């Protein structure tokens, strides 16, 4: 079989903005991994490695989503901690 040299019309989504936001607001380690993979998408696409660009996009999405959901889970636990009064009781006992 002959390999097809068809160039996709658009590069895959790079998830860079989302990864930066996750890094700033949710979960630093997973956001950084997402940024690393997101930065590879456009360079791989530009060099003609379309499969590599797709894989880098999928990896960036995976790590960005992991960081986002961990950030959401931590925020919910934090809110519950103070909503149930545990945090207030601990802070009140420190006086």
pLDDT tens for residues 37-75? 999 999 999 999 999 999 999 999 999 999 999 999 999
**What DSSP assignment string belongs to the chain?**
-PPP-PPPSSPPP--HHHHHHHHHHT-HHHHHHHHHHHHHHHHHHHTT-HHHHHHHHHHHHHHHHHHHHHHHHHHHHHHHHHHTTHHHHHHHHT-
Token pair for 89: 């009781």
pLDDT for res 2: 47
Q: Domain map of the chain by residue range?
A: 16-93
pTM given for the model: 0.78
């Amino acid at each position: 079989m002959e390999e097809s040299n068809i160039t996709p019309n658009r590069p895959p989504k790079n998830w860079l903005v989302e990864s930066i936001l996750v890094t700033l607001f949710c979960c630093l380690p997973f956001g950084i991994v997402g940024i690393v993979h997101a930065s590879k998408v456009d360079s791989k696409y530009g060099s003609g490695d379309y499969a590599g660009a797709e894989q880098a996009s999928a990896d960036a999405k995976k790590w960005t989503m992991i960081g986002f959901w961990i950030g959401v889970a931590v925020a919910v636990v934090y809110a519950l901690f103070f909503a149930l009064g545990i945090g207030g009781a601990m802070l009140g006992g420190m006086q």
